[in-house]
Amino acid sequence: MATKRLWRWRGIDVQGAPCQGMLWQTKRLEVLQHLQQQRVIPLAVRRCAVKQSLWHPRYSCETIRQLASLLQAGLPLAEGLSLLAQQQSHAQWQALLEALGRELAQGVAFSAALAQWPQAFPPLYLAMISTGELTGKLDICCLQLANQQQEQQRLASKVKKRCATR
């Protein structure tokens, strides 16, 4: 699978209003095709640098925990992802959550959509999310996954502190 890149675009919508956004796509042509489907006239499309530090497990853990809360509150998965994307302060995570939402809209399973992002969601995430999809308990699996990841991060931090003091 080709590596997806982060693209920033500016354009004009069908009402003539300026608009802008970010997209994860493999090629510039795919960005232009997406904008055409959205009926946006592109003015500028450029690649953005990806901050590797934002793929730290704490971000995926936080995202899954927030998603679990939204699912437990009764929001459908697609709406939960959309809401998380709107509230996301990091552009590359916002674009990722929007990309996941588009995959869901095309009928792709959530676990399969996450599998396209191994830098953000390791295999354990895929297994737990897949289990949640199969059992109809996605909210519970997301919460358990977030709790497990948080505990793992806490223990790793504790070990690092102990090693540093020796």
| Sequence-ordered strand ranges (E) for the chain | 5-12, 18-25, 41-47
- pLDDT at position 10: 96
SS3 at position 47: strand
User: Of 41, 43, 3, 42, whose CA–CA distance to 25 is shortest?
Assistant: 3
- Angle CA(10)–CA(21)–CA(142) in degrees, nearest 5? 170
- Residue 159's alpha-carbon distances to 74, 78, 88, 147, 165, in angstroms, are 38, 38, 31, 18, 10
- pLDDT at position 98: 93
- pLDDT at position 72: 96
Which phi and psi angles does 44 have, rounded to 5°? -150, 140
- pLDDT at position 48: 87
- pLDDT at position 1: 56
Q: Give dist(CA 99, CA 95) in Å, integer.
A: 6
For residues 100 and 113, the answer to whether their CB atoms sit within 8 Å is yes
Residues of the chain with pLDDT below 50 are: none
Sheet arrangement for strand 5-12: 18-25, 5-12, 41-47
- pLDDT at position 55: 78
- pLDDT at position 118: 86
For residues 20 and 10, the answer to whether their CB atoms sit within 8 Å is yes
- pLDDT at position 28: 94
